[in-house]
Every structure is written in structure tokens, then in C-alpha cells.
Amino acid sequence: MTLKSLMLGTALAMLGVTAVSAETWNIAVTDVEGLERLQAEWGPFKAALDAATGHTFEFFPVSSRSAAAEALRGETVDFVVTGPAEYIIINTLTKATPLIGFGRPDYRCAIIVRADAGIDSMDDLKGKKVAFGDIGSTSNMLCPMQLMADYGVDPVTEIDKVHTSTNIAHEALKGGDVAAIGINEGSWINGARGKDTSVPYGFFKVLARSGDLPNDMLLVGAHVPAEVQALVRDSIIENKDQIIAAITEHEENDKYVGMDLVTIEDASYNRVRSMYTTAGYPQFDTFLGE
């Protein structure tokens, strides 16, 4: 914030008036590398955010989740689009907080098995090989592991776990190389499963599925003034239709089609903290897989 705007804000505050001068803020997206991709995939969102808030947002490319956290801690980035698992670590390291939730439809996880494998309960997976997605993924690792624990199976000590991509996990399950996959159910159905016509529909079955997962989000750095946080939050909610259309304009953001934008609080992510603990990572201070 400039000295001029700070002095103006102080003077107005003495009169009981709150004002937020237009400023420029840096915004990052944790799973998109490079300025060119940011502009292509999130440029419409940035433009809609500018229009809704009256502020200017500039892209700040980050090469990793750790880089995003360091930029927040150094106050060189102000807002970040990220997921639930990433948020838990970023919050621990920087005290950044969630501002707006990206309510994704069908955002849940599941444990999938072959229908002919004779696996009818979670106990049947004890001692068997189970494939999960990327290390640290909310829906492809942490949630499925929590789901197993909810049904009485320790995912750390009672199964043989491996990590791989969704497509490879799907093929491994189909070929009998793993007994089950823990996966983002919506992505699997619309991706690897939906495109696989080599087996009949009833070839796989859902052994268990979770409830809806906490939202992806736009989070805000602890250094951003409270009045700016409130203005950005309220402006997004008031203009949600235009902003949703902007987010979903690029096909890389198809996972958000049908989404809603909602206000959220840190407590909504305590479930994800429990998932980290269940998976054997109770400190919340390290990005898994980096």
C-alpha cells in the first residue's frame, strides 16, 4: 500500500469512514507453471477480478507449492489459487487464510476394485497392493487413505501402497496388478473409466466413497489489509456469475464446470488436517512429494 493511500485511509478512519484505494496485487496459481499458461488458462479470471473489484491483479508465476509459500511469506504475492491439501501447509508456514471457496461438483474420492475380485469389504484389502495418485493430492491420496481408515484399515501399515497417475492406476487395476485404487471418483469416471470401452460397465465397483471434499480456494496473505480482503471477497460473491464464466472459459479448468463460489473459513479444512495425520504426516509443514 502506498504512503499516500495509507495516510488517506488513516484520515478517513479518524472520521469513521472506511475506504479502499485501488491497488495492484499479485496472484499465483499453484498448479500452473509459467506466465504463458497463467495468461491462457486464468487470464479471463484475472480480467473479471479486475472488473469486479476495481483493483489490478498481476500474475506471479510460481514453480512449486513451496515457491508460492515463500512468496507469500516474503509478501511478493498476495493471493493464491490452490487446493485443500496445499492450503494446510501454506497456512502453517505463512498464516494465509481462505477467502473464497471454489465449490467443485462431484469432488470426492473413492476406493475402486474389480467386481470379480472377491473384495467386498475394506478388510479384504489388508496386505494387498493399493494404488493412489500423486503424493500429497487431496482427492487422489489423502482422502482415499482417510476413507480406508474410516473403515478400519490403516493405510500406512496394513496395505502395500503405491503412487502413480490415474491412467496407470486404472490399467493396473484392470489387469489385476493392484487390488484397488484410491482416486478422485469424478475425474476417474469422466477420464480413464469413461474413455475405456475395453471392459463392460460393471467390470469395476465402488467399495467406498467419501462425502464432498472441502473446496479449492482463493487464499489471501496475512499481510493484505483486512479491508482489501473484505472488498475482494464481497466483490467476487456479488459478481460470481461473471467470475465463474471466466474461470471455466479455458478447457483446462473443466473440473470447475458447474461450480459455485462461496465464502469459507479455516475450520472447514480441519478434515484435511485429519487426513494428513492419518497418512502419517501430522506436522503440516512440508509439501509432500517435493
92-116 residue pLDDT tens: 999 999 999 999 988 999 999 999 9
Reading the block at residue 62, the C-alpha cell is: 510460481
Q: Output the domain CATH number for residue 123.
A: 3.40.190.10
Domain boundary among 170, 186, 209: 209
Position 4 confidence tier, pLDDT thresholds 50, 70, 90: very low
Question: Cα separation of 125 and 112, whole Å?
Answer: 11
Does residue 290 belong to any structural domain of this protein? no
Question: Are 54 and 141 contained in the same domain?
Answer: no
Three-state DSSP state, 280: coil
Q: State the average pLDDT over residues 213-234.
A: 97
Find residue 27's DSSP bridge partners. Answer: 59, 79
Question: Strands 79-82 and 160-163, how do they pair?
Answer: unpaired
Supply the range of the domain harboring residue 126. Answer: 109-209
Confidence at residue 20, expressed as pLDDT on a 0 to 100 scale: 59
Does residue 163 belong to any structural domain of this protein? yes
Please determine, for residue 199, whether its predicted confidence score (pLDDT) is greater than 90. yes
Domain boundary among 149, 181, 209: 209
Position 289 confidence tier, pLDDT thresholds 50, 70, 90: confident
Stated pTM of the model: 0.87
Asked whether 45 and 246 are in contact (CB, 8 A), the reply is: yes
Averaged pLDDT score across all residues of the chain:
92
Question: Are 127 and 70 contained in the same domain?
Answer: no
Asked whether 138 and 82 are in contact (CB, 8 A), the reply is: no
Query: Which residues neighbour 62 within 8 Å (Cβ) at sequence distance 6 or greater?
Result: 28, 29, 30, 33, 68, 71, 77
Please determine, for residue 8, whether its predicted confidence score (pLDDT) is greater than 50. no
Share of the chain above pLDDT 70, in %: 93
Domain boundary among 209, 225, 246: 209
Question: Cα separation of 71 and 60, whole Å?
Answer: 9
Question: Are 116 and 196 contained in the same domain?
Answer: yes
Query: Which residues neighbour 142 within 8 Å (Cβ) at sequence distance 6 or greater?
Result: 85, 136, 272, 275, 276, 278, 279
Instruction: Indicate the helix (H) or strand (E) that contains 68.
Output: helix 65-73
The tally of domains found in the chain comes to 2
Q: Widest CA span of the chain, in angstroms? A: 73
